[in-house]
Structure 1
């Protein structure tokens, strides 16, 4: 199972990777929720057109440092983040619970 942590995460968070272009385009569309988070890489923007629930979005730079965290309601289009290389998506409210905030570094562990 793949997980991620930050300096403020008390325990590892389950993580899915969207590694193909098709998986990145689909993201969380068609789902009613997610256990943990979804990592879209490479990516620098997302949309919530057709989504069923609001999501938290964390934009990560090339060193996996969080550039910004936003909550997006369904039916929105996010602006591209020029320095972002990956995007972490989760259900709204999850990023705050996990301590994912601007400046935090996300560490992914495969296992």
Structure 2
């Protein structure tokens, strides 16, 4: 009998990750920032985002509590919204193009 071994891929990202886990840091996020990201912003807890008052696009990764990727949004533009994602516990906001250049995919895990 043949059995297949399930492979789990863990990613380590080449960015400094800043954690936003207080009411004020989560509320502010990246709003009003003038220059694009050079690092990542992990918003915890969070299951949806808006791009109001943003001046640049970003890539967005929705994570479960154990950091499994359940949704990715590339090149999210200012004044757009992502409705609540079922099962999401955190959102990782990255520089635009990071999802493609790092080959981030749903089902993988991120080491934070």
- What is the TM-score of this pair, normalised by structure 1? 0.83
Q: The residue matched to 2:72 in structure 1 has which SS?
A: strand
Distance 2:37 2:58 in 1: 10
| Residue 46 (str. 1) matches residue 49 (str. 2) | yes
Distance 2:59 2:17 in 1: 14
The corresponding residue for 2:72 is: 69
Which of 97, 101, 108 matches 1:97?
A: 101
4+ residue runs of structure 1 moved beyond 6 angstroms? Answer: none
Structure showing greater Rg: 2
Which of 12, 16, 19 matches 1:17?
A: 19
Distance 2:39 2:78 in 1: 19
Cα RMSD after superposing both structures: 1.6
How many residues are paired up?
A: 102
C-alpha displacement of 1:84: 0.1
Q: The residue matched to 2:100 in structure 1 has which SS?
A: helix
C-alpha displacement of 1:8: 4.6
Structure 2: where are the runs of 5+ without partners? 1-8
Distance 1:73 1:85 in 2: 22
- What is the TM-score of this pair, normalised by structure 2? 0.82
Once the two structures are superposed, residues 60-84 of structure 1 have per-residue CA deviations (whole angstroms, 9 ceiling, x without a partner) of: 0111000010031100111101200
